[in-house]
Structure 1
């Protein structure tokens, strides 16, 4: 594969194209400055304005959220896995029907495999623009977002209506629901009663891992972060490893399906037969299946990257086996 062909599979941080109208809370005060990025796959955006950088199916989606300080992403749910790691800033994640069942603060490099069937939200509590990178299970990301009822009601007060076709309509722009499309129904009390509200101990102990702890594990070999043998024992349809300078090797290897490299610290030189490229934090690289490649730090200093690859496990609910 030529460098030009491979460059088409690299999304540089500086080339990311944001969407500011991706979700139903785009006009809601406190959430109206969010930027959503769909890097690999269709994502879960509700807006036709959303740009998709790489459409090649991987068995999972890669996205990102960028937010200024104190900007919040409203309470929502997914049918498949949603995994975040912090690229920039300091973030508070919260969960529960009203967002008060528990919370955890994540720093740069920390990773959070949010349990399915749980309402979750997050906000940037740092002092500058922050960015979190996201991995969503399945090629169709579980069919979209399930919003807490109050989010849909608040959004309507600010001009946005979500149709039962999963698309947004802005009444402030004179838009209305097309013929045959009804408003997205609110979850009933019976449906809400079936949504989990795990305790802080359950969530933080089972689904959050700190960057420094993972780096210590990755001193001899890549740290298995999420997967059958991961420190987070979940099987959401993909596996996540953390590779550091200490565990990187220049020996080339390949996979039978596409994989993704996402640096979180340092610069990384990726080599393959036919070329090489350098990745920086915030860049995302899709490595084709069966392409022998290697990835090693290209400069001195701290270096770490997350590696994601799909598995044959179904992209369904959080695995409890």
Structure 2
């Protein structure tokens, strides 16, 4: 593959195209300054304004959320896995029907395999604009987002209505639900009872991995972060490894499915049959299946990157209520 062809599979952090109207809470005070990014795959955006950087199916989606301080993402749920790692800033994640069942604060590089099937939200509690990168299970990301009832009600008060077809309609732009399209139904009390409310003590040990712990584990070989044998044992349809300077290998290798490289720290030179490229923190690179490649730090100093590859497993539930 030529460098020109591969360049189309690299999304530079500085070239990310945000969407400020991606979801139903885009006008709701406290959530109206969010920027959403769809990097790989179709994502779960409810807006036609969302730009997709790489539409090639990978078995999972890669996205990102950028938010200024005190901005939050409203309570929602997914039918498949949602994994975040903090690229910049300080973030509070919270979950439960009202967001009060539990919470955890994550710093740069920390990763959270949020249990599927629970309502979750997050907010930037740092002092500057922050970014979190997201991995969503499945090529269709589970068919969209399930919103807590109060989020839908609040959005209606600020001009946004979500149709049962999964699309947003903005009354501030003169839009209305088309004929034959009903509003997205609000979950009933019986349906809401099916959403677990795990305590923090149940979630953090099993679903959160701290960056510096992973760096220590990856001193000689890549640390399996998420996978059947990972620090966070799960089979969400993909595996995540952390690779550092000490565990980067000069040996060329390939996968039978596309893989994704996402630097957290340092600059990385990726070599493949046909060329090479240098990735900086925040960049995302999709390596085609069967292409032999390797990733090595290209400068001195701290160096770490997350590596994601599909396993072909069903992108199913990760949280099973006790």
Q: Name the TM tier (shorter chain).
A: over 0.9
**Cα distance in 1 for residues equivalent to 2:190 and 2:285:** 43
Partner secondary structure for residue 232 of structure 2: coil
What is the aligned partner in structure 2 of residue 273 from structure 1? 273
Residue 219 of structure 2 is aligned to residue 195 of structure 1: no
What is the aligned partner in structure 1 of residue 13 from structure 2? 13
- After superposition, the C-alpha distances for 1:190-212 in whole angstroms (9 at most, x for unaligned) are 00000011110111111000000
**Cα distance in 1 for residues equivalent to 2:272 and 2:292:** 6
Q: Is 1:163–1:181's contact at 8 Å kept on the other side of the alignment? A: yes
Residue 123 of structure 2 is aligned to residue 123 of structure 1: yes
Q: Is 2:115–2:319's contact at 8 Å kept on the other side of the alignment? A: no
- After superposition, the C-alpha distances for 1:105-138 in whole angstroms (9 at most, x for unaligned) are 0000000000001000000001000000000000
Structure 1: tracts of 5 or more residues without a match: none
Q: TM (normalized to structure 2)?
A: 0.99
Residue 75 of structure 2 is aligned to residue 82 of structure 1: no
Q: Is 1:235–1:319's contact at 8 Å kept on the other side of the alignment? A: no
Q: Give the count of matched residue pairs.
A: 320
What is the aligned partner in structure 2 of residue 100 from structure 1? 100
Residue 316 of structure 2 is aligned to residue 316 of structure 1: yes
Residue 148 of structure 2 is aligned to residue 148 of structure 1: yes
**Cα distance in 1 for residues equivalent to 2:319 and 2:114:** 12
What is the aligned partner in structure 2 of residue 159 from structure 1? 159
Q: Is 1:263–1:280's contact at 8 Å kept on the other side of the alignment? A: yes
Q: Is 1:267–1:297's contact at 8 Å kept on the other side of the alignment? A: yes
Aligned-residue RMSD, C-alpha: 0.6
What is the aligned partner in structure 2 of residue 292 from structure 1? 292
- After superposition, the C-alpha distances for 1:47-103 in whole angstroms (9 at most, x for unaligned) are 000000000000000000000000000000000000000000000000000000010
Partner secondary structure for residue 20 of structure 1: coil
Q: Is 2:99–2:119's contact at 8 Å kept on the other side of the alignment? A: yes
Partner secondary structure for residue 204 of structure 1: helix
Q: Is 2:117–2:319's contact at 8 Å kept on the other side of the alignment? A: no
**Cα distance in 1 for residues equivalent to 2:290 and 2:173:** 48
- After superposition, the C-alpha distances for 1:194-242 in whole angstroms (9 at most, x for unaligned) are 0011110111111000000000100110000000110000100000000
Q: Is 1:236–1:319's contact at 8 Å kept on the other side of the alignment? A: no
Q: TM (normalized to structure 1)?
A: 0.99
Q: Is 1:234–1:319's contact at 8 Å kept on the other side of the alignment? A: no
What is the aligned partner in structure 1 of residue 47 from structure 2? 47
Partner secondary structure for residue 44 of structure 1: coil
**Cα distance in 1 for residues equivalent to 2:46 and 2:174:** 18
**Cα distance in 2 for residues equivalent to 1:154 and 1:171:** 14
**Cα distance in 2 for residues equivalent to 1:177 and 1:109:** 41
What is the aligned partner in structure 1 of residue 178 from structure 2? 178
**Cα distance in 2 for residues equivalent to 1:172 and 1:248:** 51
What is the aligned partner in structure 2 of residue 111 from structure 1? 111
What is the aligned partner in structure 2 of residue 138 from structure 1? 138
Residue 62 of structure 2 is aligned to residue 91 of structure 1: no
Structure 2: tracts of 5 or more residues without a match: none
Superposition misfits of 4+ residues, deviation over 4 angstroms: none
What is the aligned partner in structure 1 of residue 28 from structure 2? 28
What is the aligned partner in structure 1 of residue 64 from structure 2? 64
Q: Is 1:102–1:200's contact at 8 Å kept on the other side of the alignment? A: yes
**Cα distance in 1 for residues equivalent to 2:219 and 2:150:** 46
Following superposition, the deviation at residue 319 of structure 1 comes to 6.5
**Cα distance in 1 for residues equivalent to 2:51 and 2:150:** 28
